[in-house]
Amino acid sequence: MALRKTKIVATLGPASSDEAVIERLVDAGMDVVRLNFSHGSAQDHIARAELVRDICRRSGRPVGVLCDLQGPKIRIGKFENDRILLKVGDKFILDAACKLGNQERVGLDYKTLPSEVGPGAVLLLDDGRIVLNVEAVNGGEVHCTVAAGGVLSNNKGINRQGGGLSAPALTLKDQEDILTAVALEADYIAVSFPRSGADIELARQLVEEAGGHAAIVAKIERAEAIDALEEIIDAADVIMVARGDLGVEVGDAAVPGLQKRMIRTARMRNKLVITATQMLESMISSPIPTRAEVSDVANAVLDGTDAVMLSGETAVGHYPVESIQAMHRVCLEAEKEYDSHHLQAPINDEFEFIDEAIAMASVYAAEHLNVKAIAALTRSGSSVTWLSRSNTNVPIYALTTERNTRRKLTLYRGVYPYHIELPSQELSKILYDAEETLLRLGAVQRDDLMMLTFGEPIGNAGGTNTLQIVKVGEHRRERHLTASNTSREQP
């Protein structure tokens, strides 16, 4: 399979829980699986994660696991007959005390809604398909007039246009689900509807207290999150451009510009980005994407996103494997047109960390010496973060003994993580093994130039301080000469 820089996140669900299907998803190019905690039990998620990792052990290809927390449940209740039809001009009541809804009213899972809205507020139901103008609030009743009608069915979501609902990002269910995510050794945990950096820090604290090491993903899907964007990015390890709920709150026309700003800002602050929601939506029921969807995915790649995500396409769609294959093709073609230079760090920037300076020096030298591959020996993955942000056209092979590091690096753009054994602390032996690994992978050939980054003394996490450029085969020749000389010296 051709090397693809942009990573693919795929959601598992009823259409993709079978072992044979997951194997095909891995073969097709899935890099990270998403477990959606809005559906299924804790045991379901644990079993799926174990199955994915068992398949990965057999295939030798690492796949990361992202656990996506449900977040606050801001929804209407159920109807007596499951659904109603609302017409423009109809009067309709959102009633916190209602048990079963009818043509005139429906209940609320989010009981504090009446205290958070007033006359003039605009409520958007079912991803904005139904629009209600609030006329009055009477106790626990929100009296509305229908501005855009249609069929409204059970448990549809509620957004307020412009944001402003105060539901906490981490519910009691989310806090319990964090324990499940830690138990299944999640590599990433996504926080839904954060409003500030404090929401992300709380999630990180809960993960650490539970003994987990997952990186934290902030899903940007509230209007308030845009106002606190830099604060949230700084607190998180990754952001997700969650275009569904965000588009409902800020308006669909604002999303493309915000997406570009979020990707640009995250990259400038050395954080990862996942672009998500309806990327190949038509492939839920069609074996090929629309031209508009192809352009949407390609534009996210051209903007510099680390990963693109599939949701219903792989979770409940008829063509989960074909969706991965289509995403793979589109990313590869877009990457051919990608101009990395407009996102490069200026050469006169002042570096704060030694491993950052090594990474930037590696990229500059690699681009000017026709280096075929960069091999980064890493424990924590820190140095690889800088390499990934550099937008180099040279493939980055992250070689690590650490299983958790290898899994996390599956999300990094342009980075290909592999296991390496380090039975010896002898530097020449370690570098020889790194070279042999790249030869075995077909990343380099004899007499190619390759680059190695590592830390001395060997084994210190976050200690990358050395860059070496070698011609492939020299380590082998040096070892042969050393062995021959030693043999002649023996009696």
| Six-digit token string for 390 | 């550099």
Residue 33 has pLDDT above 70, yes or no: yes
Q: What is the DSSP string of 331-368?
A: HHHHHHT--GGGGSPPTTPPPSSHHHHHHHHHHHHHHH
pLDDT tens-digit series, residues 275-303:
999 999 999 999 999 999 999 999 999 99
Measured in Å, how far apart are the chain's first and last C-alpha atoms? 52
Q: Each residue of 102-129: pLDDT tens digit?
A: 999 999 999 999 999 999 999 999 989 9
Q: Which residue has the higher pLDDT, 151 or 348?
A: 151
The more confident residue out of 457 and 389 is: 389
In this predicted structure, the answer to whether residue 345 has a pLDDT above a threshold of 80 is: no
Q: Which of 307-321, 356-370, 469-483 has the lowest mean pLDDT?
A: 469-483
- C-alpha span between 232 and 28 (Å, rounded): 33
Residue 481: its pLDDT value, please?
Answer: 40
pLDDT confidence of 368, banded at 50, 70, 90? confident
Q: What are phi and psi of 143, to 5 degrees?
A: -90, 125
Q: Record the pTM.
A: 0.90
Annotated catalytic residue, options 4, 5, 7, 34: 34
Across the range 194-201, mean pLDDT stands at 96
Query: Tell me, what's the pLDDT at 348?
Result: 52
Whether 75 is a known active-site residue: answer: yes
Give residue 461's pLDDT band: very low, low, confident or very high (50, 70, 90).
low
Please name the helix (run of DSSP H) or strand (run of DSSP E) that holds residue 53, with its range, or none. helix 42-59
Residue 406 is among the residues annotated as catalytic for this protein:
no
Region 133-152 average pLDDT:
97
Q: Name the percent of the chain lying above pLDDT 70.
A: 92
The reported pLDDT for the residue numbered 292 is 97
pLDDT at position 462 is 61
Answer whether residue 206 shows pLDDT above 70: yes
Catalytic, out of 277, 314, 385, 400:
277
Question: Among residues 53, 78, 160, 219, which one is catalytic?
Answer: 219
Render pLDDT for 47-85 as a digit per residue (tens, 0 to 9): 999 999 999 999 989 999 999 999 998 899 999 999 999
Helix-then-strand count for the chain, H and E: 17, 21
Instruction: Tell me whether residue 476 is one of the annotated catalytic residues.
Output: no
